[in-house]
Structure 1
């Protein structure tokens, strides 16, 4: 009998049997199913299996968290089920069967905007800082702005417009590139197309309304004899760029199937790019501009009408559920369009407040469950993460688990959203979420937004405590009931010093270290796989963080497991979804079963090539059996070098 035969047999039964499995694969830590009927899966029984550490559903995939030994579990499962596993791409394709057209559209939109988020966030920070420099009169400066009072800061303000313009005015370049990347067509053609939408030869989109029709007809048109075409730019416009990008993808796919390989290098780009540029400026751009303007006008009207308080309250309350469904990605496009059309957005302030409210609800749980050290390893970082604008760890790790904090956060967010909407608070840009979001708010609204932030903190915090005590929206965390027990090890007498074992984990990478909640993978961020840290590597070399034995080396070489003499089970997972590369760009310098010493080179990877292929290289360093140990990060955040001490581990 195999090690996991019993649990694998039960899992097959609990997911609805062989006939309910449309596709199956696995990654470094979890089984990934596409189920014919997801409702047939008995989630409660699956979670009770000894081998299972958790379950969740994402993008049409039913995912069962197993841990380091998932390859062995997977092999036994497919043998028992008499199934053939598929590639991750096969499973993703099959998963679309479980998505309705709206979900597919939202997933596509998310996959287009996700690669752009780092730039958008940086751009938001830059615009927020410039907002403080040039738009906020300071009393100690005689009601002048910092830029007006200082040559140096005026120069800084002017210089920062360079990256700010590149990110937001030239956003169409990023959009058309991201579409070609997602649809797996020629990315450089997407970049060229985007540039043709924002070229300096065109009349800047922001100058169109102040330019007369006669001036446009005389100075900003191409004259082809039998027709003319306006030389209008699409700076910061989202929908025209998306329409043009999808047309380019369609034409390239069309011609690639029909043009002989021998001349495809010449004619496919030519016949795809030129007609798309023509259509973008003649048809798609004007239509997309009108659609985008119509959407932003409706949203802006709703938030400035006599019923704005209702609009703000409803949006503020429902933004968090939108995050769960993925529909929140649609707000990125709307926010950008609002900024393009009105110079500011009244939507983003409410998004910032929703982040703050989710963090405040978790903070109340931390207070209510004080002493639960095991939960605090998830909850405390989740508060920090939410207040810095990333709410997934807070929502999925704590608030949705107990439900009542999530409801309290929705109510607090709704009230804060109603408040800022009534007072007409607007942001000059997007990207800065949570507490730092105040720097993106127009200067004359700082005071109002500060009050709204207090509402978003106080209301969820006290409502969470009230709901818990009163049993409202709360069936699993009643006061006086031990329904979420504290780690039993914390209730035993202190272990004699002589039996306690300690060790230190050293950095296996050069790069930037962050708390585990910073992970882009929610499974790691929520602590479902264990405790540790994540590192953004600056180079593609992974070293042993301590002495031990290689317990796991994936064929794809993207993940390595290591066990030391204390029994610490360590997982180092290079990148997100890098299993799809099937080992390309990775080179292993050890094999499974090898004994290794601290500082020994384990793996090299081509960081640039992996990122060019569309994957992140962020690397979680996880202790996957943390119930046996106390895990204390020595560095909360900052630059690290190989062999820097990063985590202290003590046996319990």
Structure 2
């Protein structure tokens, strides 16, 4: 009888049986299913399986978190089900077939904007800070702005325009690069294409409306004899850049198929890029600009009409469900277009308030379940994350689990959205969500937006506690039932000695919440830290044993003599490298001594292959141990430094 025979049989039935499984694979911690009918999976039954630590659905895959022993679990699952496993890439391909055309389009849009989000967020912060410097009269400066009163800050304000302009005016460059990257085209040509849309040789998009047709015809045209083409730039324009990017990708694919490989290096770039640039300025740019203008005009009209309060309230309430479906990624394009057309956006303030409302509901759960240490490992970081603009941990980790806090957040967000829309609050930039979102708001709207933020905190917090008490929208978390034990406060804890974990890697230590894989960042696998390696060596953090060595060598499980279980996961999604760039010097079951070399990995080669090398170091049985960091975040660490202390509970 296998170790997980009962659990694997239970999971097979709970996901709908063999007939409901299109594909199955696994990574270092998760079983990854592509289900024919995802609704047939009995999630409550899956949650009750002892080996299961959680589950979520992402990009068409139903993922069940198992932990360090996932390889053993997977093998037993394959044996008992009779299903032949597939590669991770094959599972991804199968998952796409599980999505309808709208879902696929949303997935593509998300994958285009995700790589450029860091730049958009930084740009939003910069523009928000510049708003304070140059547009807010200060009473303590006799009504002058900081820029007017200080030469130094005037210089800072002028300097910050450099990155601000680079991010937002040249946004088409980022979009065309991201499309080329996402769809496997030549990335440098995607960058060149974007530059041709914002070149200084073109009339800047921001001054097109103030330039007469006669002046454009005289000074801003290419004359081809038979026809002329306007030299119009597309600074900050999203849809023209997207249309041009997609055309370039498909032209390159076509010519790669039909041009002999011996001359493809010369002719494929030429025949892909030049027609795309021409089409972008003759057809795609004008059409895309018109489409974007229509969309932004409709949204702006809805948010400035006599029924704007209703529009804002509905949009505020529905923002969180949009995040679940992925449709919220479309709002980035709309916001960018609104700013390009009107100089500000009335959509972004509503989205900021939705982030705050979701965080407030989680905070209410923290208050209601105070003392539940296990849940607090997820709920407290989720509250902070939501208030800094990232709501997925809050929604998927807490609010959707109980349902009633999610609905409370929707109501609070709707009321706050209605309020700020009624008072015509607008943002001058985008990218900064949650509480820092006030930096993007027009200075004259600060007070109203602060009131909106208070509404987005107080209403969801109060409603969450009220719904819990009266049982509204609440089936599993009744006040009269003791919820804490059901959430994992196990009365039987492992006895043992305090364990000190030394850093297994040389690099820079960061909090676990900064991990780029949500399973680690949200604490689903346990508590720990993340290290950004500066040297490609992994050594033993204590005396113990190798409990798991993944076949691809990218992850290793250890257990100390005191029973502390630790997972060292080198990089994010590096399982896809199939062992390349990793060398192991131990095997599963080996005894180890602190400081012993366990494996080596090639940092530069992994990065060149397009993968992150940040390494989560997790105590996976955190329910048995109190895990406390010993090093401050963003600190350099060496392999002889203590980074964690695990105290038995």
TM-score (normalised: structure 2) = 0.95
Matched, 1:341 2:341: yes
Distance in 1 of aligned mates of 2:299 and 2:538: 48
Tell me whether 612-621 or 338-347 shows the greater mean CA deviation: 612-621
With 385-394 and 537-546 compared, the bigger mean Cα shift is at 537-546
1:296 aligns with 2:296: yes
Q: CA deviation at 1:609?
A: 4.6
1:187 aligns with 2:187: yes
Alignment match of 1:581 (pick from 562, 571, 577): 577
Cα distance in 1, alignment partners of residues 306 and 583 from structure 2: 63
**2:304 alignment partner, SS class:** coil
Residues 373, 489 of structure 2: 8 Å contact kept: no
Q: Secondary structure at the match of 1:303?
A: helix
Does structure 1 residue 445 correspond to structure 2 residue 457? no
Tell me the secondary structure at the aligned position of residue 206 of structure 1: helix
In the TM superposition, what are the counterparts of 1:54-453 in structure 2 within 5 Å?
Answer: 54-453=54-453
Match of 1:533 in 2: 529
Name the SS for the 1:147 alignment partner. Answer: helix
CA contact (8 A) 1:120 1:168 kept: yes
The match for 1:553 among 537, 540, 549 is 549
Shift of 1:500: 5.0
Deviates more, 1:46-55 or 1:329-338: 46-55
Mark the CA change 1:539 to 1:444 in structure 2 (over 3 Å): closer, same or farther.
farther
SS in 2 for 1:640: strand
Alpha carbons 1:396, 1:526 under 8 Å: kept = no
Cα shift at 1:629: 1.0
Distance 1:340 1:598 in 2: 58
Secondary structure of the corresponding residue to residue 505 of structure 1: strand
- CA–CA distance in 1 between the matches of 2:398 and 2:422? 31
> Cα offset for 1:505?
2.5
Residues 383, 538 of structure 1: alpha-carbon distance in 2 compared, 3 angstrom cutoff: farther
Q: Deviations over 1:332-351 (max 9, x none)?
A: 11111111221211111111
User: Following the alignment from structure 2 to structure 1, what is the Cα–Cα distance between the partners of residues 319 and 97?
Assistant: 26
What is aligned with 1:624? 620
Alignment CA distance shift 1:63-1:635 (3 Å) = same
Q: Relative to 1, partners in 2 of residues 1:86 and 1:158: Cα closer, same or farther, differing over 3 Å?
A: same
The answer to whether residue 559 in structure 2 is matched with residue 563 in structure 1 is: yes
1:523 pairs with 2:522: no
RMSD over equivalenced CA pairs, Å: 2.1
C-alpha change, 1:568 and 1:447, in structure 2 (3 Å) is: same
The question of 1:650 aligning with 2:631 is answered no
Deviations 1:101-135 (A, max 9, x none): 11111011011111111111111111111111111
SS at 2:483 equivalent: coil
Residues 557/196 of structure 1: CA separation in 2 closer, same or farther (3 Å cut):
farther
Contact 1:34 1:60 in 2 (8 A): yes
What is the distance in 2 between the residues matched to 1:337 and 1:511?
41
Aligned in 2, Cα 1:252/1:489: closer, same or farther, shift over 3 Å?
Answer: closer
Between the two proteins, the alignment pairs up a number of residues equal to: 648
Question: Which residue of structure 1 lines up, in the alignment, with residue 636 of structure 2?
Answer: 640
* 1:594 Cα deviation from its structure 2 partner: 4.1
Taking the aligned partners of 1:640 and 1:252, their CA distance within structure 2 comes to 44
Cα distance change, pair 5–100 in 1 and its aligned pair in 2 (3 A): same
Q: Aligned pair in 2 of structure 1 residues 400, 370: CA closer, same or farther (>3 Å)?
A: same
TM-aligned CA deviation for residue 46 of structure 1: 2.5
Shift of 1:524: 2.3
Q: Which whole-Å CA distance do the structure 1 matches of 2:597 and 2:141 have between them?
A: 56
Relative to structure 1, the CA distance from residue 40 to residue 491 in structure 2 (aligned partners, 3 Å threshold; closer, same or farther) is closer
Report the CA distance between 1:556 and its aligned residue.
Answer: 2.6
C-alpha deviations, 1:11-67, integer Å up to 9, x for none? 223323323221111111111111122233233332222222222222211111111
Q: Judging changes above 3 Å, is the alpha-carbon distance between structure 1 residues 338 and 613 closer, same or farther for their aligned structure 2 residues?
A: farther
Q: Aligned partners of 1:616, 1:368: CA distance in 2, in Å?
A: 38
Aligned partners of 1:491 and 1:17: how far apart in 2?
34
Distance 2:414 2:631 in 1: 36
Q: Is the 8 A contact 1:543 1:642 kept in 2?
A: no
Unaligned runs of 5+ residues in structure 2 are none
Q: 1:504 pairs with 500, 518, 522, which one?
A: 500
Distance 2:484 2:258 in 1: 62
- Match for residue 473 of structure 2? 473
Superposition pairs for residues 449-464 of structure 1, below 5 Å? 449-464=449-464
CA gap of 1:141–1:474, structure 2 versus 1, over 3 A, is same
With normalisation by structure 1, the TM-score equals 0.95
Q: Distance in 2 between matches of 1:511 and 1:449?
A: 41
Instruction: Assess if the C-alpha contact under 8 Å between 1:393 and 1:517 holds in 2.
Output: no
CA distance in 2, matches of 1:389, 1:147: 29
In 2, are the aligned partners of 1:373 and 1:487 still within 8 Å (CA)? Answer: no
CA distance in 1, matches of 2:487, 2:18: 37
Structure 1 CA distance for aligned equivalents of residues 403 and 241 of structure 2 = 40
* Structure 2 Cα separation of the partners of residues 207 and 33 of structure 1: 52
SS at structure 2 position matched to 1:646: strand
CA distance in 1, matches of 2:502, 2:458: 40
Unmatched tracts of structure 1, length 5 or more: none
Q: Distance in 1 between matches of 2:345 and 2:597?
A: 50
- Secondary structure of the residue aligned to 2:459 is helix
Please show how residues 9-24 of structure 1 align to structure 2 within 5 Å.
Answer: 9-24=9-24
Q: What is the rounded CA distance, in whole Å, between the counterparts of 1:328 and 1:174 in structure 2?
A: 19
Change (3 A) 1:481 1:13: closer
| Matched residue SS, 1:273 | helix
Are the equivalent residues in 1 in contact too, given 2:374–2:489 (CA < 8 A)? Answer: no
CA distance in 2, matches of 1:204, 1:585: 47
From the superposition, tell whether residues 14 and 469 of structure 1 become closer, same or farther in structure 2 (CA, over 3 Å).
closer
Query: Is 521-530 or 112-121 further displaced after alignment?
Result: 521-530
Alpha-carbon spacing, 1:346–1:512, altered in 2? closer, same or farther (3 Å): farther
- Of stretches 420-429 and 499-508 in structure 1, the one that deviates more from structure 2 is 499-508
Find the aligned partners of 1:512 and 1:80 in 2 and give their Cα distance: 43
Is the deviation greater in 55-64 or in 414-423?
Answer: 55-64
Structure 2 Cα separation of the partners of residues 122 and 543 of structure 1 = 36
For residues 41 and 109 of structure 1, the distance between their equivalents in structure 2, rounded to whole angstroms, comes to 28
Distance 1:304 1:320 in 2: 22
Mapped to 2, the partners of 1:263 and 1:219 lie a distance apart of 39
Q: The residue matched to 1:627 in structure 2 has which SS? A: coil
